[in-house]
Structure 1
Amino acid sequence: MRFLQSIIVVLLLFGAAISTQAQLQTTSPLAPPEVQVRSAPAETGASGATTARITVEIPADHHGYLDSGDEGLLIPLAFTFDNPGIAAQEIARPQGTRDDQAHATVLRGQGEFVFRLALSDPIPESPHAKLRYQICNDITNICFPPRTVQVPLQLAAVQNLAAPKTELLQSEPAPTSFRERLAALFRQSTSNLFFAIALVFVAGLIASATPCVYPILPITSAILMARGGGAKQSGHIHAFAYFVGLIFFYTLLGVFAVTTGTALSAVMTNPWVNLGFAVLFVYLGLSMLGLYEFQFMPALTAKLDSASSQSSGLPGTFWMGTTAGLVVSPCVGPVVGAILLDITGQAAAVSAADTALSNQIVVRGIALMTSFGAGLGVPFLVVGLLSNRLPQSGAWLSKVKFLLGLPILYFAYTYYIKSLETLGVPVNVAHAMLVGVVAIVLAVFIGAFHTMGEKPPQHLQLRRACGIILLVVGIHFLYNGLGNSGILIDRPSPVQMAAATTSPVDDVETHGNLRWLRNISTARQLARTESKPLFVDFYATWCANCKAFNSLALKHEELNQALQQAVLIKIYDTDPDFKIFQQDQRFPELRGVGGQPFLPLFAIYSPRGEFLWKGQDYKAANTMIAQLERAKHATVQ
C-alpha cells in the first residue's frame, strides 16, 4: 500500500514538472519583450532629398540580429516601405558587435537606422515603415518568434518645408572673394574648353602669388644661375627646361586624375609628407644662410647630365622643375579642386565602351592641368630668365641670399606646425619639440662633443660648457615634447579628445566663445526654433586649413560676432552625418577625388533649412559674414 502511495506521489510530481515546463514553453513565446521603435521628424536636405531616422531599442539582456549570420539562417532587423509614393534607400545602420556564440553581428541596446526617401507629390497619407525582427534572450538563449511592427513616419515637417521657397534662392548667391568668383566661373564654363583653359591658366598665375610658393622662387634663381654657368643663352635654355619640367608634373597629375580617379591631395594631406617638406625647407634655408653649398641631388643630377652631355645637363634641370611642381602642390586651392572634380566626374560619366568620347575626356583633362601648370610656371620662367642677367658673385649676392634664407626657414616652420597639428599634436607641444631639436643642433654646432687637449684655452672650455648646457636643455624639451605628443606614449586621438570634451547631453564642442553642435538634427531644430542661420563646418583632423579656420573664427572679431549669432555645427569626416552629406549632389567636394574629400568646406543654411551658400576658402571672412547676414534675413514667400 505504501509502495503504491509512493508511486502516486512520484507521478504527481513528475506531471507537475511537465506541466510547468510546458507552460513556460507556451507562454514565453506568446509574451516576448517589446522592442521600442521610434521615428524622428524627417528632414529635407540641400538637394531636396528627405532623410528619415528610425531608432530601434532592444530590451535589456536581449539582442537582435543585424545580419543573417555566417550560415545565412538568422532573421536580421529589416525595414520595408510599402506606401505608394515612397521609395527608400538605407544609407546608415548601427555598427553592432560581433557575437561569436551566435556567429553573427548583433544589436544590443539602442541603434539608429537612416534612410534616404524619395517622396511623391503630394506626400502619401499615413506614411509608415515596417520592421521585421527576431530577438533572443542573452541569459536563457531562447529566441522568440519573428515579429513585424509598423512604424509611423513623421513627414509633416517635410511637407511644410517642401512648398515654401526662399526668395533669395531664385539664383545662386554670387561669391564675394576673387578666388571664389574664379572657381564659380570655371564651373559655369566647363562646356567651353578654350575658355576653361584660359581660366585655369589665370588660376595658375594667381596660385603662384600665394605665400607658400614664394620660397621656391629664390631657390629657382640660385639653381638656374649655377646651371647656366654664366652664359646667357645656356641660362635661358635651362630656364625653359625648368619651366617645362614644372608643367610636366601637373600634366602627369591630370593624367592620373582622368585615368585612375585619384589625386595628389591624398598624399599632400599626409603629415609625414608635410614634415618632409619642412626638413627640405630647413636644408634650403640654411644653405641660403651660407652654412653649406646647396646641391640638388648631386649624384642623380650628375648621372642625368652625363647620360645626356649634348644637352648640357638639361635633364637634371628638367627634373628639378618637376620636383618644384611637387613642392608647391600643397598650394592648390579651390580652382584646382574644381578642375580635378570636373575631370574625374566627366571620366566617371563616360562609358568604357565609348572610346571616342573617353579619349576626348582624357585630352580635356590633360589640357586643363597643363594650362594650370603653365600659369603657375610663368613666374618661375621669368625668374629664371632674369637670374642670368644678374652678376654671378659679389658681397651683394651673399646679403641677398641671407635675407632670402630667413623667410624660407619661416615656411619650414609653417610646414612643421601643419604636420604636427595634422597628427593631433598640440601647438605648445610642437613648439617644445622644436626648441629641443634646435637646442641639440646648436649644442653640436658649438662643440658639445669636441675633444680638447690637456690644457685647452679658456674660450674653448666655455664654448663646450655652453654646448653641454644646450644639449641637456634640448634633450629635456624634446623628450617631454615627445612624451606629450603621443609619439612615444599613446594618447587619445583628436576625435576622442573632442568627444571627451563634448557634453553627452547636448553633444556640444566648445572652442573659445563658440559652441559647435555635433548632431545635424539638433542643429537644424535649434536653427528653426531660434530663427538663426545654420553654419556647417565640414572638418577633419588631418586638414590643416580646417584647424586654421578654428583660429581665425576666434581672432577675426567681425566673423566671430557673426558666428555667435548663428547655430554652428562641426561635422567630422568620421561622423555618420558626413557620409550622408557625401550623397548630396550639391557637395561633390565631400566625395572628392579617389575617396579623398577636398576640405575645408563650409555651408550656410537659412533658419528654415534652405541651402544658401558653400565655400572652401577659410580666409574668406567677409564672404562668410555677408552670407550669414543674408541668411538671417531670408524670408519665406
Structure 2
Amino acid sequence: MYPILTSIVLGGAQLTQRRALLLSVIYVQGMALTYTLLGLVVASAGLQFQAALQHPYVLMGLSVLFVALALSMFGLYSLQLPSGVQTWLNSLSNAQQGGSLPGVFAMGAISGLVCSPCTTAPLSGALLYVAQSGDLLTGAVALYALAIGMGIPLILVAVFGNKLLPKAGNWMERVKTLFGFVLLAAPIFLLERIVPEFWSSVLWSALGLAAFGWLYHVKNSLPFGGWKQSLIGIVAILGLLASAQPLLNRWLAPTQTAQQVKQIQFTRIANLSELQSALAEAKAQGKPVMLDFYADWCVACKEFEKYTFHAKQVETKLSGFVLLQADVTKNQPQDIELLKALNVLGLPTIEFWNAQGEPVPNARITGFMAAQPFLDHLTQQGL
C-alpha cells in the first residue's frame, strides 16, 4: 500500500527530501482532517445518545462487535469496503493532481476511506469508543491521532524511500495479532460497567495471560536472537505474573478486601421535586449539599465511590454535608428532566450548594478526582 500511495503523493516526480516531506505531511493532514470530522460527527451523536448506548444489551452488542473486529486482526476473516465503493474512491483520488499542495491535500482527505481494507478494525474500534465517550474533544483527538499514526510510516517512506521499510514477512502478521489483543481490551472496558468487579478482574487477567502467553510463544520465531530474544522472554514472563496477580490477591485475601470497603451513606433522589425538598431541608439545618449524579455504567462514578468517597479524610469532610445521589442509570423521563434542569451533559458530575441553599458556581466536578484533589477543591470553594 505505501509504495502505491507514495507514488500518488509525489506525482511521479524526483523530488528533494524537503519537498517530499512537505507533500507527505500535507497528504497526512488531509487524511487527518477527514478522520477528525468523522470523530466529531460520531462524538456528537454519542453525546446525544450516550445514555441509550449504555444499556446492557447495547454494551453486550458492542462487545461482540469488538470481539469480531479482534478476530479479523487474528486472521480469521477480512473486513473491507464493498469493491464498488473502493473503486469509486480510488478513481476520485487518482483524478486529483499529484505533486501539488492542493491536490495532495485533496487526495489525503479522500484516501481516509481508500485505506480502509488495512484499517477497518482499528478505525471501527476507535469510532465505537468515541461514540461511547460522547466527548467532542476525545472524538476529534482520537481520530486525528489515528490518522497521524497511519501517516507516519507513509511520511518516512516518502522521504527516505524503501531504506526504512522492512521487508514483508511474518512480522506483519504478528503486528496484526498484537493489535487484535489491544482490541480485545475494549469489550472488557465496556462489560466492566455491568458485570461484578470480580468478573472484570477475571477478564482483564485472562486477556493479559493470553497476550503475554502469545508473546512468549512467538519469541523463538523472531528474526533476532541473543539478548533481544531473552529480553522479550523476560517481559512476557513478567507480564504473565502481573496478569495473574489480581486473581491471586482476591483468592488469597477475599475477606480482608471485603472488610476494607466501607459504605458512605447517600440519600437517593429521583426527580426535581425531591431535590428541591432536600435542598430546603438542608437549608433549614444550615448544612451544605453535595449531589452526585451516578449510573451503573459510569466507570468514573464507581471510581469515585471506591477511591474518593471512602478515603478517611473525605468521609470526615463530608460528614457535615447532606449527601444526595441521583441514579440516572435507566435514563427515564424524570432523569432526563433532572439532568436538563442542572445542565448536566455527562457523567460523572457532582454539584454543590452552600449552607444558605445557594449553588456554588465554580464547585461543579466533572470527571474523576482523587481524594486529595477532591479535598483541595472543596477547600478552594469554601465548602
Closer/same/farther in 2, CA of residues 627 and 395 from structure 1, 3 Å limit: same
- Equivalence map 1:517-528=2 (5 Å): 517-519=267-269, 520=275, 521-522=277-278, 525=281
Closer/same/farther in 2, CA of residues 555 and 572 from structure 1, 3 Å limit: closer
Q: What is aligned with 1:232?
A: 6
- Alpha-carbon separation, structure 2, partners of 1:264 and 1:538: 17
Shift of 1:270: 3.7
Compare the two structures and name the one with the higher strand fraction. Answer: 1
Closer/same/farther in 2, CA of residues 228 and 266 from structure 1, 3 Å limit: farther
Asked if the contact 1:278–1:413 (Cα under 8 Å) also holds between the matched residues in 2, the reply is yes
Closer/same/farther in 2, CA of residues 287 and 513 from structure 1, 3 Å limit: same
Higher gyration radius (CA): 1
Picking from 31, 41, 53, the partner of 1:268 is: 53
Shift of 1:376: 4.2
Q: What does the per-residue CA deviation read over 1:117-159, in whole Å, with 9 as the maximum and x for residues that have no partner? A: xxxxxxxxxxxxxxxxxxxxxxxxxxxxxxxxxxxxxxxxxxx
- Alpha-carbon separation, structure 1, partners of 2:278 and 2:50: 32
Asked if the contact 2:282–2:322 (Cα under 8 Å) also holds between the matched residues in 1, the reply is yes
Closer/same/farther in 2, CA of residues 277 and 564 from structure 1, 3 Å limit: farther
Q: What is aligned with 2:192?
A: 417
Q: Does 1:292 align with 2:75?
A: yes
Picking from 332, 338, 352, the partner of 1:604 is: 352
Q: What does the per-residue CA deviation read over 1:202-228, in whole Å, with 9 as the maximum and x for residues that have no partner? A: xxxxxxxxxxxxxxxxxxxxxxxxx43
Partner AA of 1:302 in structure 2 = S
Root-mean-square deviation (CA, aligned residues, Å) is 4.7
Q: Does 1:317 align with 2:102?
A: no
Closer/same/farther in 2, CA of residues 239 and 621 from structure 1, 3 Å limit: farther
Q: What is aligned with 1:339?
A: none
- Equivalence map 1:331-480=2 (5 Å): 332=133, 336=136, 375-388=141-154, 389=156, 391-392=165-166, 393-394=168-169, 397=172, 403-418=178-193, 421=194, 425-428=195-198
| SS class of match (2:266) | strand
Asked if the contact 2:348–2:367 (Cα under 8 Å) also holds between the matched residues in 1, the reply is yes
- Alpha-carbon separation, structure 2, partners of 1:524 and 1:534: 10
Asked if the contact 1:228–1:234 (Cα under 8 Å) also holds between the matched residues in 2, the reply is no
Shift of 1:379: 2.0
Asked if the contact 1:238–1:317 (Cα under 8 Å) also holds between the matched residues in 2, the reply is no
Structure 2: give runs of 5+ residues left out of the alignment. Answer: 10-23, 95-109, 157-163, 207-260, 270-274
- Alpha-carbon separation, structure 1, partners of 2:39 and 2:27: 19
Shift of 1:549: 2.9
- Alpha-carbon separation, structure 2, partners of 1:609 and 1:556: 26
| SS class of match (2:352) | strand
| SS class of match (1:588) | coil
Using the size of structure 1 for normalisation, the TM-score is 0.35
| SS class of match (2:364) | strand
Asked if the contact 2:53–2:132 (Cα under 8 Å) also holds between the matched residues in 1, the reply is no
Asked if the contact 1:282–1:408 (Cα under 8 Å) also holds between the matched residues in 2, the reply is yes
- Alpha-carbon separation, structure 2, partners of 1:545 and 1:391: 42
- Alpha-carbon separation, structure 1, partners of 2:192 and 2:66: 13
| SS class of match (2:192) | helix
Partner AA of 2:63 in structure 1 = A
Compare the two structures and name the one with the higher helix fraction. Answer: 2
Partner AA of 2:196 in structure 1 = P
Closer/same/farther in 2, CA of residues 552 and 255 from structure 1, 3 Å limit: closer
| SS class of match (1:518) | strand
Q: Higher relative contact order by CA 8 Å / sep ≥ 6: 1 or 2?
A: 2
Q: What is aligned with 1:327?
A: 128
- Alpha-carbon separation, structure 1, partners of 2:88 and 2:334: 56
Q: What is aligned with 1:626?
A: 376
Asked if the contact 1:243–1:381 (Cα under 8 Å) also holds between the matched residues in 2, the reply is yes
Shift of 1:623: 4.5
Asked if the contact 1:243–1:378 (Cα under 8 Å) also holds between the matched residues in 2, the reply is yes
Q: Does 1:516 align with 2:266?
A: yes
- Equivalence map 1:12-31=2 (5 Å): none
| SS class of match (1:382) | helix
Closer/same/farther in 2, CA of residues 430 and 332 from structure 1, 3 Å limit: closer
Shift of 1:517: 1.3
Closer/same/farther in 2, CA of residues 252 and 514 from structure 1, 3 Å limit: closer
Closer/same/farther in 2, CA of residues 303 and 558 from structure 1, 3 Å limit: farther
Q: Does 1:247 align with 2:2?
A: no
Identity %: 19
Shift of 1:554: 5.1
Q: Does 1:303 align with 2:84?
A: yes
Closer/same/farther in 2, CA of residues 434 and 323 from structure 1, 3 Å limit: closer
| SS class of match (1:568) | strand
- Alpha-carbon separation, structure 2, partners of 1:233 and 1:317: 15
Q: What is aligned with 2:212?
A: none
| SS class of match (1:384) | helix
Count of aligned residue pairs for this structure pair: 278
Closer/same/farther in 2, CA of residues 268 and 391 from structure 1, 3 Å limit: farther
Partner AA of 2:36 in structure 1 = I
Using the size of structure 2 for normalisation, the TM-score is 0.54
Closer/same/farther in 2, CA of residues 562 and 400 from structure 1, 3 Å limit: farther
Asked if the contact 2:288–2:321 (Cα under 8 Å) also holds between the matched residues in 1, the reply is yes
